[in-house]
Amino acid sequence: MEIDKIFENNKNWISNKLETDPDYFNQLGEGQSPELLYIGCSDSRVTAEELMGAKPGEIFVHRNIANMVVSIDLNSMSVINYAVEHLKVKHVVVCGHTACGGVKAAMDSKDLGILNPWLRNIRDVYRTHAKELNSIEDEEQKYDRLVELNTQEQCVNLIKTAVVQKAIRKRGLKIHGWVFDVHTGELKDLGIDYDTILEGIREIYHLD
Ligand code: CO
């Protein structure tokens, strides 16, 4: 994609928006009240808004390699805190995707330098679910399953945070784990039962 083309696209986008609604940017400038926080992968094929058919102002987005929720990552923790505590989103989604390079890298025994500590978190997911994963012979199926389990574990990590625990209890915040299939474009809901997860981890991770 050429850089100059981006500015041309931008001008076209502005005129298209104004054609259908002359007040569009005045309203956009007034503020945001998104109902959903989306935590997804940085992968260029998994565009948050487009795959959900969402418009500007509807989704608060955080993306990183392999859609991770890491408790000492100030970036994701700030996004989660701001979205849940201040924007008061009603839903938090962790969206993984098939053919995720981050998940694949964590399955390989290779030194990737600065990426090691980040990918370590995915290797920890593998270790937690090693029994199930090692019982899958087909490498592709194993890869797909690790994508699902990683998404699920990031939902658990979300539920380990005080701000999410409080919001679930006090105002019924909902947590979702989805996987986007890059081969079909389909979104799959993993049906994360966050109430049971919260109940299960309460003894150790109860912060509120
Ligand atoms: Co990815």
Write down all domains in the chain, each with its CATH number in brackets: 1-31 (no CATH), 32-205 (3.40.1050.10)
pLDDT at 93: 98
191 CA to centre of ligand 1 in angstroms = 20
Q: How far apart are CA 171 and CA 73, in angstroms?
A: 26
Gap from CA of 169 to ligand 1 centroid (Å): 31
What's the 190 CA to ligand 1 centre distance in angstroms?
Answer: 17
185 burial (CB, 10 Å; 0-12 / 13-18 / 19+) is: exposed
Residues 40/51, Cβ–Cβ less than 8 Å: no
* Alpha carbon of 127 to ligand 1 centroid (Å): 19
Q: What is the CA angle 127-100-189, rounded to 5?
A: 85
The amino acid at residue 71 is S
pTM above 0.85, yes or no: yes
Per-residue pLDDT of the chain (208 residues; tens, 9 = 90+): 899 999 999 999 999 999 999 999 999 999 999 999 999 999 999 999 999 999 999 999 999 999 999 999 999 999 999 999 999 999 999 999 999 999 999 999 899 999 999 999 999 999 999 999 999 999 999 999 999 999 999 999 999 999 999 999 999 999 999 999 999 999 999 999 888 888 888 778 887 7
Q: Is 41 a catalytic residue?
A: yes
Structure-block tokens of residue 90: 């009603």
Structure tokens at 26: 């005045």
Instruction: Indicate which residue of 4, 21, 23, 41 is catalytic.
Output: 41
Is 100 among the catalytic positions? yes
Which pLDDT value is given to residue 173? 96
| Residue 43 among the catalytic residues | yes
List of residues 6+ apart from 23 with CB closer than 8 A:
none
